[in-house]
Chains A and B, each alone.
Chain A
């Protein structure tokens, strides 16, 4: 029953300075099958796929495509061998149309000029054949994320790829969009295409894959079939030990409302209204999770709630004090701690040493400065103490923040924000891109803050994380809060519908609690 092998990877090794990303990795892919590549962040999945797509060159090992040993020096050569890749961060030019994006690199022409009509016609044919609906003349930046992903798939099919690599394709989708994607994948494999599906999500992998190859720290741990395994086993293979999927926490003891938001409206960078009338209360001693697909206004909401963005309308109160459209410092003065979404861009100054990053939002206060003069000795002492207390792995406090690993950078931020007296905490995507060890550490710290009585707003696109930590779950869709559910009522199915904009008929009137 086995179909022919279309792709074989043999003994690939690839090192970067300081780390072996792929260590003697081998795998095979058959015609018409979905092979899932499972592993946690940093396990080497993306490196391996970039090698197969010709973006990286392996130190050793070989790649065999349809029985022929190949050297893939560039994406162009990979494309010529029928390999196509849908990157996690889409490789689309936002200001260009679908047809321009699809034809880029293999443009159809008429004389010296571009022939967009011919390309659009071809796109329509592909759309029909695989059920990938899209308007060829739409501008990419106007399209929803799910449709952009379809454009990426069309791009590979337009180049006649029969081996498709999908790198974390579900990260940006709602559960319903994920289902649609799976249907597309099934249509593709039914017509003889082969798919490599990269993910760190166990449920999805079990649902879609024909076989699952697990990577850990650059090595292949094993290959299993979904019907022979379960989540627990896969998790252990992935991490190398058993994983605590749920965080233990005492029952919620809600106190006074710490953050009160009423009818908040905020615009995004391009001037579109990204937050449209959001209202909620956040109480002391609870974690309120904000779930939702990325780009539904969460970023703008948090920025407005910390003074980083102008609110067009509405009111924000912290501990009863009105703070709407005050400067960020006013929010900090009232006891806000903020673990920002983009830690390298917003949370740290990478070219400054750890000790200077530790005082980033307290530098002007006692004991770090007096009469505008910095007290370097106090700063150094504090930094030393916090590095130890928060387990930041670093040669010293004079090391630049940019030289630390992602997990340790996040720990520097947590050390800074948690060591101040705070009553309110925003944690936005606090574990994105981190290894399991760091994730567990950060989860524990967040729950500790809650238990100490702080009000915690957790924004995450990972439903697992939201469900593991939150006391209540709010779902954001197109700038609105669809509903707020107690965590024990928040099932994946219910949240999924809310994330897709379908309001639960049984609960409607309680959106403003």
Chain B
């Protein structure tokens, strides 16, 4: 039920958000360059699982399948990646295991929502709960790993003040996520695959009548979406933390959905949105670092979640999701 006043408020809120963040960066860099650099570097890394989660959502939703299971896909990817690291000690194998697990979760979601034509939100919720139960059942305390992915410094570029340490001194999955943003954007808007994916998500019957296999397109997109969510999970255990904890995704999969919506279902837009959320997360850790205690840490901890709600409230009505989203395709 959008009306004019509501739209105006929405626009103002979002502009205020952006302007406020930019102003904050300049003021704080002037005052404390070291802290600001650390804050922004942390922002980029914190945004990695969110942008990957959002890309996962984009693959699924652009083809017409709601993916509320990003959280569960991430959690399973994180867990299996961690186990692979424990038992093989090979980080590359571990990342691949996380991606593979994600692909399997994607397949499960595709099967339930496309073939069984289950309500896609229920299907996603089932996967989320199953992921929570399964990782809880198989997780044993006291497993240790041989290290995690470490930052790779890109020579010369990393020496640029502020931008260098923020963008060019990151670990591999973070770099990969930046590359993926660009690649997926091109894939979606400049290639045959992208055109067909969008057609299937907007008007599956139209795609069907020109000979495109709707079911196959959706399956492949959802499985790719699962792989990227698995990679996001791998980021958590193999790059950010180095170990597994129960329910360690902590709602990031849902925040990623808000990131996707905020970015209007485009990879570049999602990247911008992810940075905003990454910043909210980074604030939290930096506050704790600096021992700022005037604000209770629980309130800072609420920030990403409140931000998600604000974004949903402000943007869902305006940004237009793919038209056929949520509807199983019936060939009559």
Is A96 in contact with B198, judged by CB distance below 8 angstroms? yes
Within B182-212, the residues touching A (CB, 8 Å) are: 190-192, 195-196, 198-199, 202-203, 205-212
Kindly state whether residue B332 has any CB partner on chain A within 8 Å.
yes
CA of A107 to CA of B332 in the docked complex: distance in angstroms?
A: 26
Closest chain-B Cβ to A225's Cβ sits at a distance in Å of: 32
| 8 Å CB interface, A72-91 against B | 74-76, 79, 85, 87, 90-91
A114 / chain B contacts, CB cutoff of 8 Å: 190-192, 195
User: Which residue of A is nearest B210, CB measured?
Assistant: A105
Specify which chain B residues have a CB less than 8 angstroms from the CB of A390 in the assembled complex.
none
Pair A105/B212 contact, Cβ less than 8 Å: yes
Interface 0/1 of B219-243, CB less than 8 Å to A: 0000000000000000000000000
Partner of B211, one of A95, A101, A105, A112: A105
Q: A91-B203, A94-B202, A95-B202 are in contact. Are A104 and B212 (CB under 8 A)?
A: yes
Contact between A109 and B198, CB atoms less than 8 A apart:
no
Known: A91-B203, A93-B199, A93-B202. A79 touches B332 (CB 8 A): no
Are B206 and A79 in contact, with the CB atoms below 8 A? no
* Bound Cα distance from A106 to B199, whole angstroms: 13
B32 within 8 A of A: no
Q: Is A384 an interface residue (CB 8 A)?
A: no
Residues of B near A120 (CB, < 8 A) are none
Q: Could you tell me the distance in whole angstroms from the C-beta of A120 to the nearest C-beta in chain B? A: 14
Please tell me which one of the listed residues A75, A79, A90, A107 contacts residue B192 in the complex, with CB atoms under 8 A apart: A107
Q: A114-B190, A114-B191, A114-B195 are in contact. Are A91 and B209 (CB under 8 A)?
A: yes
Residues of B within 8 A of A109 (CB): 192
Contact at B195–A75, with CB atoms within 8 Å?
no
* Contact indicator A96/B199 (Cβ below 8 Å): yes
Assess the B203–A105 pair: CB atoms within 8 A: no
Q: Is A310 located at the chain interface by the 8 A CB criterion?
A: yes
Closest Cβ–Cβ distance, residue B259 to chain A (whole Å): 22
In this complex, the member of B207, B210, B320 whose beta carbon has the largest number of chain A beta carbons within 10 angstroms is B210
Question: Does B293 sit at the interface, judged by CB under 8 A?
Answer: no
Please give, as numbers and ranges, the residues of chain B lying within 8 Å of A95 by CB-CB distance. Answer: 202, 320, 323
Q: Which residues of A contact B199 (CB under 8 A)?
A: 93, 96, 104
A55 within 8 A of B: yes
Contact A91 B212 (CB under 8 A): no
Q: Is the CB of B203 within 8 A of A92?
A: yes
Contacts of A93 in B (CB 8 A): 198-199, 202-203, 206
Best-buried of B191, B196, B206, B212 by chain A (most CB within 10 Å): B206
Cross-interface CB contact of A105 among B190, B198, B207, B323, cutoff 8 Å: B207
Q: Are the C-beta atoms of A113 and B207 separated by less than 8 Å?
A: no
- On chain A, which size bracket covers the interface? 20 to 34
Chain A nearest CB: distance from B1 CB in Å? 9
* Assembly CA distance A91 to B198 (angstroms): 14
Question: Which residues of chain B in 281-321 are interfacial with respect to chain A, using CB atoms and an 8 Å cutoff?
Answer: 320
Please pick, from A101, A113, A310, the residue contacting B190 in the complex, using a CB distance under 8 A. Answer: A113
Provide the residues of chain B in CB contact with A103, threshold 8 Å: 195
Q: How far is the CA of A155 from the CA of B209 in the complex (A)?
A: 11
Question: Cβ of B208 and Cβ of A75 under 8 Å apart?
Answer: yes
Rounded to whole Å, the gap between the CB of B188 and the closest CB of chain A is 11
**B contacts with A: majority SS:** helix
Our pick among A55, A56, A100, A107 for the contact of B209 (Cβ within 8 Å) is A55
> Are A94 and B190 touching (Cβ within 8 A)?
no
Question: Is there an interface contact between A79 and B203, defined as CB atoms closer than 8 Å?
Answer: no
With both chains docked as a complex, state the minimum distance between the C-beta of A345 and any C-beta of chain B, in angstroms: 14
In the assembled complex, the CB of A45 is this many whole angstroms from the nearest CB of chain B, namely 15
A310 to B332 alpha-carbon distance, docked (Å): 36
A330 to B210, CA, bound (A): 48
Chain B residue contacts of A90, Cβ below 8 A: 206
A327 to chain B, nearest CB (A): 13
Residues of A within 8 A of B332 (CB): 50, 55-56
B208 nearest CB neighbor, chain A only: A75
Asked if B140 is an interface residue, CB under 8 A from chain A, the answer is no
Q: CA of A107 to CA of B198 in the docked complex: distance in angstroms?
A: 14
Q: Are B206 and A92 in contact (CB under 8 A)?
A: yes
Q: A56-B332, A112-B191, A114-B195 are in contact. Are A104 and B202 (CB under 8 A)?
A: no
A-chain residues with CB within 8 Å of residue B211 when the two chains form the complex: 74-76, 79, 105
Q: Shortest beta-carbon distance, B205 to chain A, in Å?
A: 6
Residues of A close to B196: CB separation below 8 A: 104-105
Q: Are B195 and A104 in contact (CB under 8 A)?
A: yes
- Measured between alpha carbons, how far is A53 from B190 in the docked complex, in Å? 30
A31-73: CB near B (< 8 Å → 1, else 0) gives 0000000000000000000100101100000000000000000
Contact B190 A79 (CB under 8 A): no
Residues on A with C-beta less than 8 A from B320 are 95
A79–B202 contact, CB under 8 A? no
CB B7 to nearest CB in A, in angstroms, measures: 8
Distance between B213 CB and nearest chain A CB, rounded to angstroms = 9
A155 to B212, CA, bound (A): 15
- Determine if A104 and B210 form an interchain contact, defined as CB atoms under 8 angstroms apart: yes
Beta-carbon contacts under 8 Å, A278-313 to B = 310
Within 8 A of B (CB), among A215-233: none
Bound Cα distance from A155 to B206, whole angstroms: 11
What is the bound-complex CA distance between A223 and B80, given in angstroms? 68
A74 to B331, CA, bound (A): 11
Chain A residues with Cβ below 8 Å from B198 are 93, 96
Q: Across the interface, which residues of A come within 8 angstroms of B250, CB to CB?
A: none
In the complex the two chains form, is B210's CB within 8 Å of A79's CB?
yes
Chain A hits for B323, CB < 8 A: 94-95
Cα distance, A279 to B42, chains bound together (Å): 62
Tell me if B3 counts as interface (CB < 8 A to partner A). yes
Residue among B191, B205, B211, B212 having the largest count of chain A Cβ atoms under 10 Å: B211
| Least distance between B197 CB and chain A CB atoms (Å) | 11
Q: How many angstroms from the CA of A159 to the CA of B191 in the assembled complex?
A: 20
CA–CA, A155 and B207, complex, Å: 12
In the bound assembly, the distance between CA atoms of A139 and B24 in angstroms comes to 40
The contact of A75 among B3, B191, B203, B210, by CB within 8 Å, is B210
Q: B205 to chain A: which residues have CB within 8 Å?
A: 91
Cα distance A202–B208 in the bound complex, in angstroms: 32
B residues near A101, Cβ cutoff 8 Å: 206
From residue B315, how far is it (CB to closest CB) to chain A in Å?
16
CB distance from B326 to the nearest CB of A (A): 16
> Which A residues lie within 8 Å of B209 (CB)?
53, 55, 75, 85, 87, 91
In angstroms, how far is the closest chain A Cβ from the Cβ of B58? Answer: 16
User: Which residues of A lie under 8 Å from residue B203 when comparing CB positions?
Assistant: 91-94
Kindly list chain A residues whose C-beta atoms are within 8 Å of the C-beta of B206: 90-93, 101, 104
Closest to B324 in A: A93
Q: Which residues of B have CB within 8 Å of A113? A: 190-191
Listed by A's residue number, 7 A-B pairs whose Cβ atoms lie within 8 Å are A56-B332, A91-B205, A101-B206, A104-B195, A104-B207, A114-B190, A114-B191
Given A87-B209, A95-B323, list of 19 further CB < 8 A pairs? A56-B332, A75-B210, A76-B210, A79-B211, A91-B203, A91-B206, A91-B209, A92-B203, A93-B198, A93-B203, A96-B198, A104-B195, A104-B206, A105-B196, A105-B210, A106-B210, A112-B191, A114-B190, A114-B195
- Show the binding face of B for A, using Cβ within 8 Å: 3, 190-192, 195-196, 198-199, 202-203, 205-212, 320, 323, 331-332
> Which 5 residue pairs across A and B have the least CB separation, nearest first?
A76-B211, A105-B210, A91-B206, A93-B203, A93-B202
